[in-house]
Structure 1
Amino acid sequence: MKDKTLLEEKKIMLEEFFSSEEYKPMRFKDLVTILQVPKEAKNDLKEVLDQLISQGKIILDQGGRYKLPGEDTKVGTFSATQRGFGFVMIDGEVEDIFIPENATMGAMHGDKVMLVINKEQSGKRREGTIISIVERGKSEIVGTFEKSKNFGFVLPDNQKFTRDIFIPKEHTKGAVDGHKVVVKITNYGDSTQNPEGRVVEILGHINDPGVDIMSVVKSYDLPVDFPEDVMRVLDFVPDEIDPEEIKNRMDIRDVKTVTIDGEDAKDLDDAITLSKEGDIYHLGVHIADVTHYVKEGAALDREALKRGTSVYLVDRVIPMLPHKLSNGICSLNPNVDRLALSCFMDIDAKGNVLGHKIAETVICSDRRMTYTNVAKIVEESDEEVMKEYEDLVPMFQLMQELAEVLRERRHKRGSINFDFPESKIIVDKKGKPIEIKPYERNKATKIIEEFMLIANETVAEDFYWQEIPFVYRTHDNPDEEKIKKLGIFINNFGYSIKVGNEEIHPKELQKLLIKIEDTPEEALISRLTLRSMKQAKYTVANTGHFGLSAKYYCHFTSPIRRYPDLQIHRIIKENLGGKLNENRLSHYEKLLFEVANHSSKTERRADEAEREVEKMKKVEYMVDHIGETFEGVISGITAWGMYVELPNTIEGMIRVSEMQDDYYFYDEERYQMVGEHTKKVYKLGQKVKVEVTNADKFLRIIDFVLVEDEE
């Protein structure tokens, strides 16, 4: 193992050299000479130089000389496009930098690159030229194998990897045409030469059931199987709670308690108790005490942190914790004793939390309720369902009453509700999609949503004022530039938003979303509003949540499927037990930044994989509907065509080249497509009839053509 101290000394020596008067750009052999580096230390010097390059402190120019970067030199992450050009996102900067196709230097999607920003041209976005690849983003690629006589090549699944990977014959591992494979890149190539690699795993044939989703799993490096050391631990996980543990906890097993989840949910991690005295609601939100079984630093904990979150793909779940925990001892199943961490809140008629208590508890859920049945009680007053659950009906009606109070309180402060029609994709045993429809949200899902939100806010505010190291869920204010663009866009539809002192209040966006309810442009403007906002993330600093218009917010309610919740449970329990001494506080101060950062990254990875699978299944579904006609709404317009969304949430494109009745051009100012001769106009939100002409599962695209109504 290398001595870190020696490497650190060499780093200091190099940094001093680059800031001294002796400095001038020079090659490696000249640096070895001038710094009098002995032969046996050359490799160490090279390692430190590579470190300094990856940190952006020095650059290696095309002449092989190490030198200081100029003011116009930056380091960022390259995002490729299917058409060859790309963009570089630099940490801390709002606007990305455009990289023309001839200036990418062979960079691949996800690479960390160094670039020179070209002299700015007035009125245009910044452009740059990549001068070196600092760090490769991917060493393995998933794709489809194609065999040639003396070699093979792999077409990457991710369209942002724009070049095929050459596979020498001896490294094909016996793959045949149509095999989905994992390729280890052995040579990244350059702007003139394709990358080269070797097949390390064959996932199966492109047409085999489940191979499509497994390709996405591998592509996003999602860990599937639990390692052996984790599986061994499961032998010691009990099936029932230890009776001795009950003595150390608040026993609320005799309080009427229910869980409310979807029909197919297996991991029930939250339960509710509710009563009312006078004008005061007593709400209890009880969350599975996962940390009792997942100890800090143990194999289970290390694996949960690595995964960061459970991933929900159409036909499978990749859990953060093994099923023995998530569906067993940590699941708040009915009529069994379970350990919980509870937040008891006293809430007045205006939705204000007057007081609260957090406690370690033991609970026993009376019923496992579904959203469907609770909605039948509170929405439809269904006699049959109400009779079946008659002892619980008053509690559900009280839940509906309190949920409305809490929703109104959030509404008044400006909390934004994005009620998008999410897709529910139903597949058969072979993974083939047989039905796609909007996911229904009802009053029962909204009840649980409100109760989880208020618990998350209450816990976050408590720990903020205690000044204890913590993990918050934060959402920054939108970028001024993006809000300006949104303002210009919605003006075309006759709407406006007020921006005060260069910042927008969430209430303004909330008002906009209320105004567009039930209009043809609702889905479109809602999506664009969402895109103009930043991504929520996990942070150690409490900077508030813009979308919820909340000063304090955290994720407390799902430790079975999200690591940040599990992490803060651990802190809360140590605090309740009086164990947060200076040593432990210092421990958390050092640890939490990386936990928050890593959790944000794994969440984004899960979101992207889920979207990819959804897109793939939608295309696969439409393969069986080619030639059929549907009614849809124009959801987007670009210079090359119009996007149309169908009622079942599937989106496809009408290419401008396929619009045969006229030559159409894109009127960018008004976001509409206009016929040059006929002056026919197609606008966002307009209803159109389309025919499905193509569904390409490989490219993930669906093509429509317009169908004229017969007069």
Structure 2
Amino acid sequence: MKGESILEFIKKSGKPLSFKEISDAFGLKASERKKLKYTLKELLVQGKILRNRKGLYLPIKEAKLVTGFFESHRNGFGFVIPDSPKERDIFIPPHATMGAMHADRVIARLEQSRKREGRIIRIIERAVKKIVGKIEKSGQIFYIQPRKKNISQQIVVAPGDIKIKPGDIVLAEITTYQPMVAKIVKVFEKPKTPREDLEILIYEYELPKKFPKDVVNASEKLFLKGISKTEFKNRVDLRELPTVTIDGENAKDFDDAVSIKKTRNGFILWVHIADVSHYVKWDSPLDIEARKRGTSVYLPDRVIPMLPHELSENLCSLLPKTPRLTFTVEMHFNKLGERKQSLFYPSIIQTMERMTYTSVKKILIDRDSEEIKKYKALVPHFEKMAELCEILKSKRKKRGSLDFDLPEPEVLLDIKGDPMGIIKAERNLAHFIIEEFMIAANEAVAEFLYSKDVPCLYRVHEEPETNKIQYLTKIIKNLGILKEDLKPSEFHEFIEVVKETPYEEIVNYLILRSLKQARYSPENVGHFGLASECYTHFTSPIRRYPDLVVHRILKEFLKKGKISKERKKELEKILPDIAIYSSRMERRADDVERDAIEIMRAWFMKDKIGEEFEGRVTMVTPEGLRVRLEDYYIEGFLPVSYMTDDFYQFDDKRYCLTGFKRKRKFTIGTPLKVILSKVSIEEREIIFELL
């Protein structure tokens, strides 16, 4: 019994229906009613229908309910991020969370439309099944204090065989959620190195430690087979085209390469992407595992890949001077950077060199004679790339794209894997070249599939919420660099105004914090950050599952020249679930990577207690200041209680802390000197006191 027909019937009924009414409408025999129960249960789990207190079934939209993910705050409240990108987030006060935890999939009822406030009425799927935390004791009861800061609940330990004591770091499996009870699975030894701490983090986020046997066998079989000449058939042979990959020094999974040619009218740009879909077929063991992982996770000392190494670092990776199967996006631009033609086809390439961002920068910016001599044949190509990059970047900025240039932290490791420095990973022209070319390819693919009315996974990014814009405006006004209210349509202009001023990084950071998180959706609502009407992810199929899906859809359409009605229905059925799950896995990867940096920062600073540092305020709260150091790309917290030179009060109108006697004021961007007071490896906290 198909769920779509049952769902369609419930939607069209216009009233809540009983099990008998549904069964009678489909003329089901007694033997078939068991299947109907199973189908209705599946629709309930998927969040597509609801069962009310009288046991009647009705569609979610009819009940004015919203399905989405819960984002919790350590203070107990949270937000439901709706599955549909057309709906705004719903604020959930602490008393209305129904015990939902961070990243749970939930159904919420909107109770105050104007304030966009509601309550969770059902938890569809639990995201957190295992927990890592510290054992604490109250009377005779042991409980776990979770390490994740967005989990506010304390979890009672169920009686078990494993001996524990206060202070132990444990892995526990949640057995019941109301009340919250967990069974101890593992007691960790106190980590002696950052690597051991990262191992605990992997358990904390339930990241896969190895691939299943059938996946390993499938990847090894493909690897041993290699690439045969029969696979070159029906592919455009581009091996004579001067082609390069440009990546970081430590990259191993090269999934994109580029070629360029200057013409009388403009440029031809080829973006070649590893043809992962040639090896990883729908619903194969490799595909099922890749879908489950969703994305590769990059930690300072390792990568947890979406695909086995035989594929991600060899057969699919665009290794230098080696024939590789690719999917090419060929784009013809005029001199103004307008795309006049796009072609998509399976191809075969052979890169001339494996270039790094550093090397290309030496050629184009530093004009390093040795580097120019080493890559003499490619230098003209890099110069053309730089020229087209500037044209595309300028065009994108004019249409309203937000051109953030925020530095990322880079952890420098010694031979033992310990952090010996944490610096700003500055981006250069070479980064911008690849970024612009990938954006262009992603837009070309998205616009093509959209124009053909082919179901697709889009990369969407909605406008920020009104309350976030008001909050942002209030802070920036207090900095004295804004007089009127800021509108989302003016963000890109304001970013340009503060460029190369002392406020540049702070303003970029604040605007970025006010934005929603981009995600995947079968609905095209555009990409606010890129000011793009139609955008997808196509350029990284080795490390992102949605890209692999888009490859398959595009390849299928090009091969058949159309998508049949039946196939269209199949895609429309599976794409929403893939979009929701992939977005969730992406958020998990972001959280893991952020926590891994926090771990490295704590280990790096632990021997520097008592040392003095210069820093700058990046956030102000009633509890204290978030401070980033000048010498290292490290942030820590300065509690108000450690600011002993005065009594400081929080001014929420001016968004600052002001001394009661001396009137010394701290707001975002204020420079200050601090002493490192405390480092907690367990809590991943760095605490400063005011000098």
TM-score, with structure 1 as normaliser: 0.84
> CA offset at residue 71 of structure 1?
9.2
Say whether 1:184 aligns with 2:184: no
User: Aligned partner of 2:461: which letter?
Assistant: H
2:609 is equivalent to residue 626 of structure 1: yes
Q: 2:42 and 2:378 mapped to 1: Cα distance?
A: 68
Match of 1:656 in 2: 640
Contact 1:52 1:58 in 2 (8 A): no
Is 1:289 paired with 2:279?
no
**Corresponding residue for 2:155?**
165
Does the alignment pair 1:399 with 2:389?
Answer: no
CA gap 1:141/1:406 in 2 versus in 1, 3 angstroms: same
Matched, 1:536 2:522: no
**Quick check: 1:372 aligned with 2:358?**
yes
d(CA) in 2 for partners of 1:357, 1:115: 44
- 1:427 aligned onto 2:409: no
Aligned counterparts of 2:223 and 2:603: Cα–Cα separation in 1: 43
Q: Partners of 2:639 and 2:449 in 1: how far apart?
A: 54
Tell me if structure 1 keeps the 8 A contact 2:71–2:81. Answer: no
Instruction: Show the counterpart of 2:78.
Output: 87
What's the offset of the Cα at 1:202?
4.5
Instruction: From 478, 498, 506, give the equivalent of 1:516.
Output: 498
Q: 1:224 aligns with which of 195, 209, 224?
A: 209
Q: Would you say 1:138 and 2:128 are equivalent positions? A: yes
1:703 aligns with 2:679: no
SS of alignment partner, residue 625 of structure 2: strand
CA contact (8 A) 1:159 1:699 kept: no
> Aligned pair in 2 of structure 1 residues 73, 281: CA closer, same or farther (>3 Å)?
closer
Change (3 A) 1:392 1:208: closer
CA deviation string 1:603-624 (max 9, x = no partner): 1111111112112221222212
State the distance in 2 between where 1:499 and 1:370 align.
43
Aligned to 1:545: 527
Partners of 2:45 and 2:244 in 1: how far apart? Answer: 57
Higher mean alpha-carbon deviation, 126-135 vs 534-543, is at 126-135
Measured after TM superposition, the shift of residue 432 of structure 1 is 2.8
- Would you say the 8 A contact 2:393–2:436 is kept in 1? yes
The verdict on how the C-alpha distance between 1:675 and 1:196 changes in structure 2, with shifts beyond 3 A counting, is same
Render the CA deviation track for 1:510-539: whole Å, top value 9, x for unaligned. Answer: 111111223333222212211222221112
1:104 deviates by 6.3
User: SS of the counterpart of 2:447?
Assistant: helix
AA matched with 1:165: I
Kindly report which structure 2 residues correspond to 1:349-498, keeping only aligned pairs within 5 A, or say none.
349-496=335-482
Query: Does structure 1 residue 616 correspond to structure 2 residue 610?
Result: no
Asked whether the 8 Å contact 1:209–1:430 carries over to 2, the reply is no
- Name the residue aligned to 1:34: none
State the number of aligned residues: 666
- 1:136 is displaced (CA, Å) by 4.6
What is the root-mean-square deviation in Å for CA atoms of aligned residues?
Answer: 3.8
1:147·1:153 contact (CA, 8 Å) conserved in 2? yes
1:135-164 deviation line (CA, Å, top 9, x unaligned): 654332122356999885433222333454
Q: 1:227-238 residue pairs with structure 2 within 5 A?
A: 227-238=212-223
**Alpha carbons of structure 1 residues 687 and 218: separation in structure 2 relative to 1, 3 Å:** same
Please give the secondary structure, in 1, of the residue aligned with 2:626.
strand
Instruction: Name the CA distance, whole Å, in 2 between partners of 1:579 and 1:116.
Output: 44
Between 215-224 and 360-369, the greater mean CA deviation after superposition: 215-224
d(CA) in 2 for partners of 1:581, 1:56: 29
Residues 220/59 of structure 1: CA separation in 2 closer, same or farther (3 Å cut)? farther
- Shift of the alpha carbon at 1:168? 4.8
Is it true that 1:558 corresponds to 2:540 in the alignment? yes
Relative to structure 1, the CA distance from residue 424 to residue 72 in structure 2 (aligned partners, 3 Å threshold; closer, same or farther) is same
SS at match of 1:237: helix
Aligned AA (1:184): E
The equivalences for 1:244-263 within 5 A come to 244-263=230-249
Greater CA deviation, 426-435 or 663-672?
A: 426-435
Comparing 110-119 with 577-586, which one deviates more in the overlay?
A: 110-119
The aligned residue for residue 33 of structure 1 is none
- Pick closer, same or farther for the CA change 1:361–1:548 going to 2, 3 Å: same
Q: In the aligned structure 1, how far is the partner of 2:685 from the partner of 2:454?
A: 49
Look up the equivalent residue of 2:687 and give its one-letter code.
Answer: D
| Matched residue, 2:676 | 692
SS in 1 for 2:160: helix
Contact kept in structure 2, 1:76 and 1:88, CA below 8 Å: no
Whether contact under 8 Å (2:45, 2:125) holds in the other structure is no
Partners of 1:286 and 1:340 within 8 A in 2: yes
Any idea what the Cα deviations from partners look like across 1:531-588, whole Å, max 9, x if unmatched?
2222211122222211111122111111111111111111222222226441433332
Shift of 1:676: 1.3
Higher mean C-alpha displacement, 177-186 vs 401-410? 177-186
Would you say the 8 A contact 2:160–2:184 is kept in 1?
A: no
- Which ranges of structure 1 fall in alignment gaps of 5 or more residues? 21-36
> Using a 3 Å threshold, how does the CA distance of structure 1 residues 142 and 586 change in structure 2: closer, same or farther?
same
Cα distance change, pair 469–113 in 1 and its aligned pair in 2 (3 A): closer
**In structure 2, distance between residues paired with 1:534 and 1:227:** 35
Pair 1:48–1:645, CA change in 2 (3 A) = same
Partner SS for 2:383: helix
Identity %: 39
**Alpha-carbon deviations, 1:292-328, whole Å to 9, x = none?**
1111111111111111111111211111110100111
- Deviations 1:412-452, CA, capped at 9 Å, x for gaps: 21211111110001234554322100012111111111111
Aligned with 2:462: secondary structure?
coil
Q: Tell me the distance in 2 between the aligned counterparts of 1:341 and 1:362.
A: 8
Q: 1:470 to 1:52 in 2, by over 3 A?
A: closer
Q: Which residue identity is paired with 2:472?
A: L
List per-residue Cα deviations over 1:301-358 (Å, max 9, x = no partner). Answer: 1111111111111211111110100111111111111111111112121111122211
Shift of 1:483: 2.1
Supply the AA of the counterpart residue of 1:669: K
| 2:589 paired with 1:606 | yes
Structure 2 partner of 1:318:
304
For 1:49 and 1:297, the matched residues in 2 are separated by: 20
Q: Is the 8 A contact 1:171 1:198 kept in 2?
A: no
> Compared with structure 1, are the counterparts of its residues 261 and 485 closer, same or farther at alpha carbon in structure 2 (3 Å cutoff)?
same
* Conservation of the 8 A alpha-carbon contact between 2:324 and 2:348: yes
Q: TM-score, normalised by structure 2?
A: 0.86
Distance 2:70 2:370 in 1: 59
Q: Which amino acid aligns with 1:696?
A: S
Given that 2:618 and 2:668 are in contact with CA atoms closer than 8 Å, whether structure 1 keeps it comes out as yes
- CA distance in structure 1 between the aligned counterparts of 2:384 and 2:231, rounded to whole angstroms: 32
Distance in 1 of aligned mates of 2:186 and 2:46: 33
How many angstroms does 1:632 deviate by? 0.9
